[in-house]
Structure 1
Amino acid sequence: MKPFILTEFIFILLSITGFVLKIALVFWGTPVLIIGLLGLSLIYFRQGLRPALLNDQPTAASDRFFIPLYKLGYLLFAINTLGVLFKSMLWDTRFLGFSMFILMAYTIFIAAQVLKGKFFFKKLLIKSIFIATLALTFYQTPLSKLIQLYYRDQPEFAQKFIEYRENPQNEVKKKNYLEARKKMLNKNAKK
């Protein structure tokens, strides 16, 4: 197995494990999820910036679309993987919508190339469909549902957090959220 594929597989497993642990309210879920998705994003970013080595696919190397699409694809994979990380950690995800649009357009173009008989695009198509589906799922998931899922054992804090995230400029909601957060952290510190 190639080192890139093995590393990618390990980071995918770490990401899945981290997300499952985060949903199960295990402390180590968050660091494992961050390591998995950030590592995946970094290897995709590296793959998008390095020179493409296509000695095993001479027909792909001669196609004028393949090398730029190969590099663009991995850069889009990196951005969308970061978007999934930001959404799963409840951070600001304004960039995810635009990157989703670009990735979907990219996927459609790659699909058209495969339909034209250029089967060396097949791996990129499968990977882009998988990442686009994952990113779209996280993008469409309301933030309130993720907050309720992550803080289901502390519904009062979850409600204050949702109210604050819906209107962060409201000083009363911000104050209520900060008080509830401080109370939750103090309660967790005593355990």
Structure 2
Amino acid sequence: MIPLKDAVHLCVDMQRIFSKGGVWETPWMERVLPVVTEIAARYDERTIFTRFITPQSWDQRPGQWQRYFQRWKAATREHLQSDQLELVPELARFVPPAHVVDKPAYSAFYLSELDALLTDKGVRCLIVTGAETDICVLSTVLAAVDRGFRVVLVEDALCSSSDTGHEALMTMYRTRMQEQIELINSNELAAVWSAR
């Protein structure tokens, strides 16, 4: 059992830019969005949404990020419609009381207020949902493991634009990281995350 006060629902990058018609469209998002929405609705005060905030222009990031954003100039803020970095409307309605943490890179912990927010709340467990399984979720989960958090992934609330990448990560979590990462289905969450 996970006591309610010890955990937060960390929802990674469920933004318009990843939704249907977005620059980084993630087709699975539509499939998992009802599950993520239900979790956020049940635990709105214990939910933290992250947003991947792209640079104004490609040359505002260091090193290889410049090459990346030269390739994805359409995702930089000088080319992107301003609402594309916002949460999808189905989730934005939970803020507040849910929190939003902005980040400039894949990991939700990198150059963000997440560490301080979790420390302030006394959090010891992250219940993770969001996009994409094999990029931002992966980077965030590994950073959480490094920090000693209990990490619980809600399998049917994760999405990727790559079936291969998603399945590879699920296999890795099951076979290599069982002591540090737990996988559950959303219908198990209420039983695992106690209201006490």
- Which TM bucket (shorter chain)? under 0.3
| Structure (1 or 2) with the greater helix fraction | 1
| Structure (1 or 2) with the greater strand fraction | 2
Larger radius of gyration: 1
Give me the TM-score of the superposition, normalised by structure 1.
0.23
Q: Which protein has greater RCO, CA pairs closer than 8 Å, 6+ apart?
A: 2
Give me the TM-score of the superposition, normalised by structure 2.
0.22
